Amino acid sequence: MRIDVLTVLPHLFDCFLGEGIIGRAIQSKKVEVNVVNIRDFALDKHKVVDDVPYGGGPGMVLKPEPIFRAYEELTKEGVKPYVILTEPWGETFNQGMALELSKKERLLIICGRYEGVDERVKKLVDKEVSIGDYVLSGGELPAMVIMDAVIRLLPGVLGNEESLKADSFMDRGLLGYPNYTRPAEFRGMRVPEVLLSGHHKRIELWRKEQSLRKTLERKPEVIEKLKKENLLTKEELKLLEKVEKELRGGKES
């Protein structure tokens, strides 16, 4: 996959792209990330990329010409990218969208700043994406959020792909199970005995139960949907019954 990012603050990406899973994915060429300074495509000698809004009002707006010029330069050859514009009113980003985007050969993310981008930039855009109902100063953090979630889904990026399957939202929308590491006892808090048992089947069942419990407690609508669409196994339905009983204050079966 190749990802181009258009921004007026390219250095914000330096640390993000050099460290951890993302840094390793780039080094091992699982993904190519190209951060482009919109300012390099400004038309005047002062490299101006913003201007006052027509109709008056506060703030500045990112001009369309440098963004169009950058887009045209970047797409002169190769696959046409799927273009994302970060916007607080865009479609809310989630794991499903991350999975969809991870299948694209090429993405181009345009980061807004100031009061936003000139509306005519939308002509280039396939999807406007929000990372939540709050307003940030720019689209750079949303672009990093999107890239992180997408890149870790690319084949070969995570050392152990099993960990992807255990992640929240990856299996029918269920949430993940709790994790513990050594020591077995810390300040009077003990790791659940089953995890120390070495009994793989029991551990798997316990984790499944915890995942169902957490989903039922925090996202009951997901469980409701899975039940309605018959997407739970017999074993899961049995575990769920036990969890529901416990949550209602009944005795463990």
Residue number, 122 or 238, with CB nearest to ligand SAM: 122
Known catalytic membership, residue 19 = no
Binding residues vs ligand SAM (CB under 6 A): 86-88, 111-113, 115-116, 130-132, 134-139, 142
Query: Dmax over Cα atoms in the chain, in whole Å?
Result: 76
C-alpha to C-alpha distance for 142 and 115, rounded to whole angstroms: 16
Local structure of 62: helix, strand or coil: strand
Least distance (Å) between residue 84 CB and ligand SAM? 10
Known catalytic membership, residue 235 = no
Residue number, 91 or 105, with CB nearest to ligand SAM: 91
Residue number, 35 or 131, with CB nearest to ligand SAM: 131
Least distance (Å) between residue 222 CB and ligand SAM? 23
C-alpha to C-alpha distance for 123 and 72, rounded to whole angstroms: 13
* Given the residues 10, 53, 64, 88, the one annotated as active site: 88
Least distance (Å) between residue 86 CB and ligand SAM? 4
* Given the residues 65, 128, 167, 244, the one annotated as active site: 167
C-alpha to C-alpha distance for 49 and 32, rounded to whole angstroms: 26
Q: How many CA atoms lie within 13 A of 91 on its CB side?
A: 11
**If we measure between CA atoms, which residue out of 22, 102, 33, 28 comes closest to residue 74?**
33
DSSP string, 144-166: HHHHHHHHTTSTTSSS-THHHHH
Query: Which residue's CB comes closest to ligand SAM?
Result: 112
Least distance (Å) between residue 32 CB and ligand SAM? 23
Strand locations in the chain (E): 2-7, 32-37, 50-51, 61-62, 82-92, 106-110, 127-130, 185-186, 189-190
* Given the residues 115, 128, 171, 246, the one annotated as active site: 115
Look up residue 40 and give its DSSP letter. Answer: G
Residue number, 89 or 186, with CB nearest to ligand SAM: 89
DSSP string, 217-240: HH-HHHHHHHHHTT-S-HHHHHHH
Known catalytic membership, residue 221 = no
Known catalytic membership, residue 72 = no
Least distance (Å) between residue 28 CB and ligand SAM? 29
Residue number, 88 or 176, with CB nearest to ligand SAM: 88
* Given the residues 4, 66, 152, 236, the one annotated as active site: 152
The token pair that represents 105 in the structure block: 């050969």
Which residues belong to the active site? 88, 115, 152, 167
